[in-house]
């Protein structure tokens, strides 16, 4: 018998993704003037949303076999922005940083809501 749904695991994986994304963005910003540096990115969110949509509500449903705990590090090598072959776009990185922070905060709020629900149930609805 499962005491908790997969929601806690999925939210944890989302937080891990957001944490790694934060590190990658910070690294990109730190290397904005480094010659020949190629900006990096992390991919995960599409698998995260697929996992949420594939939640089984009945044991007779097919089990989702996706790998939601894998993050894919990619190098952005399609454009060169500086004369030193560095492709870090500082404006884009700052935008990604803000978007990632909003995403992280939303996941934390959802996780807090789940814990508050459990706390209410444990206290008997009081």
Phi/psi of residue 44, each to 5°?
-165, -35
Question: What is the reported pTM?
Answer: 0.73
- Confidence at residue 103, expressed as pLDDT on a 0 to 100 scale: 95
Q: Which contiguous run of DSSP H or E holds residue 93?
A: helix 90-122
| Closest-CA residue to 72 (of 38, 100, 45, 107) | 45
pLDDT > 90? residue 49: no
Q: Which two tokens stand for residue 123?
A: 């206290």
Q: What is the pLDDT of residue 118?
A: 86
């Amino acid at each position: 018998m499962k005491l908790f749904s997969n929601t806690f695991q999925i939210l944890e994986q989302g937080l891990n993704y957001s944490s790694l994304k934060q590190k990658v963005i910070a690294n990109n910003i730190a290397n904005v003037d480094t010659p020949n540096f190629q900006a990096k990115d992390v991919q995960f969110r599409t698998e995260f949303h697929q996992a949420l949509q594939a939640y089984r509500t009945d044991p007779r449903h097919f089990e989702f076999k996706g790998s939601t705990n894998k993050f894919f590090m990619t190098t952005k090598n399609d454009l060169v922005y500086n004369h030193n072959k560095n492709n870090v776009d500082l404006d884009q990185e700052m935008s990604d940083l803000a978007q990632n922070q909003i995403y992280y905060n939303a996941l934390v709020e959802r996780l807090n809501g789940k814990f508050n629900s459990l706390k209410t149930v444990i206290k008997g609805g009081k």
